[in-house]
Amino acid sequence: MNLDQLTDIAEKMVAPGKGILAADESSGTIKKRFDAIKVESTEETRRDYREMLFRTESAMKENISGVILYDETIRQKAADGTPLVRLIEAAGSIPGIKVDAGAKPLPACPGETVTEGLDGLRERLKDYHELGARFAKWRAVIDIADGIPTWTCVKTNAHALARYAALCQEANIVPIVEPEVLMDGDHDIQRCADVTEWVLKTVYEELYEQRVVLEGTILKPNMIVPGKKSAKQVSVEEVAERTIMVLERCVPVAVPGIAFLSGGQSDEQATAHLDAMNRIGGFPWNMTFSYGRALQAAPQKAWSGKKENIPAAQKAFAHRARMNGLASLGEWSKDLESA
């Protein structure tokens, strides 16, 4: 493990004004998104779409610090034969890779899951490093409902996250640690705060026990929001205040940065919440974004699989990247959305 290298990469991933593009959708997930815009999901169309994003020079150079890739994508070449990894590097961004095998039912815990993928991970990480990946992502999924999450679910997922992170650092790859408390359901914001605090404290205990060096990690958490079906929704300011409060209770100052997931929020909601947190300030970490759908929904719709739509789609992607870059500095405003 080269700690200097890991900390340098982690700091670049959360550089001021920049954030991470999550382009690691599985083949099944991207098929659903392509179905919505009436585009057939093939290896070529997936390649063309992602190449279009990576060639959006203004966004990639100014606002995207890193890109999380899927196994297929990290091995693909652009239409002109250039490896997609090289396009990302040429734009000054860092290539990363999703390495988990997805959430599977947790035995004896109905309605809960555990993320799998530890078997053979050491060898896969070596391969990914050779392909150009310098950071990785592993997502644990924690649901809120009657009687859940259970301690079994929280503990099992936190332990897997820590083992993954230790293996990443052994391979000189920065681990993004992603324990996502889902915003599905009808729970209120206090329930989200309580569960998230429990999950984060457990995750950092496990990271300590696995001897993970926190300076070479990035945290990718959910924001503290009420469930989508909750009768009581809250203001942008309350989300920001409660999220910061939970993070200050749980996340060590050694962690260089926090890159939030959007977790089902609308494009503008995710931007507004990030901006509100950075306007409050006073915390020890750089707070930025690691968004998938919240960066890609607009360009996907504009593209719709047609070459003649590429300029419009790239403009939409550049706009969303810029809005979130400003939010990571606390400089976004609603007026800029239509500017």
Question: Out of 178, 229, 306, 334, which one is annotated catalytic?
Answer: 178
The H or E element containing residue 333 is: none
Q: Integer distance in angstroms from the first to the last C-alpha of the chain?
A: 46
178 is catalytic: yes
Structure tokens at 117: 């993928």
**DSSP per-residue codes, 169-195:** HHTT-EEEEEEEE---SS--HHHHHHH
Phi, psi at 21, each rounded to 5°: -90, 120
12 is catalytic: no
Measured CA angle at 317 (ends 20, 95), to 5 deg: 30
Query: Could you tell me which of 115, 120, 165 has the C-alpha nearest to residue 141?
Result: 115
Q: What 3-state class would DSSP assign to 139? A: strand
Query: Could you tell me which of 52, 20, 17, 46 has the C-alpha nearest to residue 33?
Result: 46
Q: What 3-state class would DSSP assign to 135? A: strand
Question: Out of 220, 232, 301, 308, which one is annotated catalytic?
Answer: 220
What are the catalytic residues? 178, 220
